[in-house]
Amino acid sequence: MENIIETVDLTKRYSKAVALDSVSIHVRQGEIYGLIGKNGAGKSTLFKTMMGLAPYSSGEIKLFGSKSNKEIEHARQRMGFMMGAHFFPYLSARENLEYFRKLKGIADKAEVDRVLKLVEMDKVKKKFKSFSLGMKQRVSIANALMGYPDIVVLDEPINGLDPQGIADFRRIVQKLNKENKMTFLISSHILGELELMATRFGFIHDGKLIEEIDRETIRNKTEEKVIVKTNDIEKATYVLEQKFPNIEYQVNGDKELVISKMVEKTDEIASLLVSKELKLFKLVAQEISIQEYYLEMITKGGTDHV
């Protein structure tokens, strides 16, 4: 699959501080790429350099295969971008987007109404200054989607959205990705939400890109686990050790038994514990979350340690 965004050893220094440290990112056409990292990890700085909003110290940026400054400037016209909510406070959502439609050179006047309907802001008449944070985020997302860009870059787009707003955003992204073949590059520190929509992930920590990995590869590299909560954890561990001498487990902070590599024996585990007169308060097979994978990555220092 073709890379439509690529950076090569991209580095950004602020005096003695290094905001980006030799970052090489690859966003492929047609995917929903989730850039994951805590606040201050370098996500926004990467986006600013990528979009030409901030200079970089060294390295290279390629957009749609273009490398020269002139070609990259032209390529940026094929991109929608959201970073913060920078609009005129005394204008309505529609009036703000009408201004940006003209600024972007989009001839179709119906485009403003289309994107406002997508984010359910088409009936809002009041001025931008009176909007909630969630409403401002919706207008920012609508602005990024104007003109059917080939790729949409969104920096922390779900900040301030309520649960319904987050679900609606996810639906919009997945619909445009599937039906319009639109590529998305989305950053967030809310890992659980990106986990539900992204097809590929980049983990960034302290300015370094630790790993890029497909969702399916994460599933192949990690193991499911069985989580058991009983009325007698000591008896449960003894019973299981007698039945399964090679069992691998640990007890978490909630006094639950977390068993590795035995998802296929979940029913057998349940039957065994019940037969020994243990009460089962919880027994679930659980796949490792993106958040757990990310935390393991930054703790152990990269792919060589996973």
Same-domain check for residues 160 and 77: yes
Query: Is residue 142 domain-resident?
Result: yes
Residues 196, 240 within the same domain? no
Mean pLDDT of 166-186: 90
Domain boundary among 171, 204, 219: 219
The total of structural domains in the chain comes to 2
Range(s) of the domain holding residue 242: 223-286
Whether residue 21 sits in one domain with residue 142:
yes
Which domain-ending residue is among 169, 199, 219? Answer: 219
Question: 254 and 207, same structural domain?
Answer: no
> Which pLDDT belongs to residue 218?
78
Mean pLDDT of 97-126: 94
Please report whether residue 22 resides in a domain: yes
pLDDT at 303: 46
Whether residue 154 sits in one domain with residue 35: yes
Report pLDDT for 164: 84
Q: Is the pLDDT of residue 63 over 90?
A: yes
pLDDT at 191: 78
pLDDT on residue 195: 81
Clarify whether residues 44 and 129 are in a common domain. yes
Does residue 306 have a pLDDT over 60?
no
CATH number at residue 42: 3.40.50.300
Contact 123, 155 (CB under 8 A): no
84 compared with 255, residue with greater pLDDT: 255
Residues 146 and 246 in one domain: no
**Quick check: is 305 in a domain?**
no
CATH of residue 273's domain is 3.30.70.100
Same domain (yes/no): 238, 104: no
- Under the banding of pLDDT at 50, 70 and 90, the label for residue 62 is very high
- Least-confidence region, from 36-40, 87-91, 101-105, 151-155: 36-40
Give yes or no for residue 1 having a pLDDT over 80: no
Res. 101 pLDDT band, cuts 50 70 90: very high
Is 296 a domain residue?
A: no
Question: Does residue 291 surpass a pLDDT of 80?
Answer: no
Cα atoms in the Cβ-side hemisphere of radius 13 Å centred on 283: 19
pLDDT of residue 119 exceeding 70, the answer is: yes
Stretch 142-169: mean pLDDT: 89
Residues 62 and 141 in one domain: yes
Give the per-residue pLDDT at 223. Answer: 66
Partners of residue 153 on adjacent β-strands: 81, 185
**Average pLDDT of every residue of the chain:** 88
Residue after which a domain boundary falls, among 184, 219, 254: 219
What mean pLDDT is predicted for residues 48-69? 92
Residue 167, in any domain of the structure: yes
Based on the fold, state whether residues 130 and 8 are members of the same structural domain: yes
**What pLDDT does 288 receive?**
67
Looking at the fold, whether 252 and 190 belong to one and the same domain comes out as no
Band of pLDDT at residue 154, cut at 50, 70 and 90: very high
Mark whether 168 and 249 lie in a shared domain.
Answer: no
pLDDT in tens, 77-100: 999 998 777 899 999 999 999 999
